[in-house]
Amino acid sequence: MSWESDQIDILFIDDDDAFRQVTTDVLDHLGYRVQAVNSMSDAMRALRTTGFDLVLSDLCISGDKDGLLILDFLNSMGIEVPVIFITGSGYGEWLVAEARSRRKVGFLQKPVTMSQLAGSIESLCSRQAPVQQAV
C-alpha cells in the first residue's frame, strides 16, 4: 500500500470505455485511488512513472494484445505488484494457465460484482508490503 496513506493505488487497464468508466466509478466509491488507461502502451508508461499497489486489467486488450504483455513488462522491470485479470467468457484456459505460469495472479469473471472486486483487491493487497516505484 502507499506509504502516506492506507488507500490502495490501482492501475486499471481496459479498452472498453463504458466498462472502464463504470469500474473506475465503483473503485472510487470503494475508496481506492485509480488511474484508468485504455491501452497497454499507456499502462506501461504509467508503470514507469508511478508506483501502484495493484494492477487490474482486462485479460484481452484490443484483439491481439493480451494481459500476458503486462505480466512480461512487470517481470522485465522487476516491479513486484499483484495483478488481477478480469475476463469475459470465451477465453481459453490456456491463457489463464499461461498467465499463472508467469506470476501469481488473480482472476475475476465478467460480470464482476462490487463485493467480488473489493474482496479480490483486499485479499491480494493485504499480504503485500508497500510497493515502491521501479527505478
The model's pLDDT over 65-81, given as tens digits with 9 standing for 90+, comes to 677 889 999 999 999 99
Length of the chain counted residue by residue: 135
Model pLDDT, residue 134: 44
CB distance 134 to 79 below 8 Å = yes
pLDDT at 1 over 50: no
Could you report the per-residue pLDDT of 26-61, keeping only the tens digit for each? 999 999 999 999 999 999 999 999 999 999 998 888
80 Ramachandran zone, left/alpha/beta (phi>0; psi -120 to 50): beta
Domains contained in the chain, CATH given: 9-126 (3.40.50.2300)
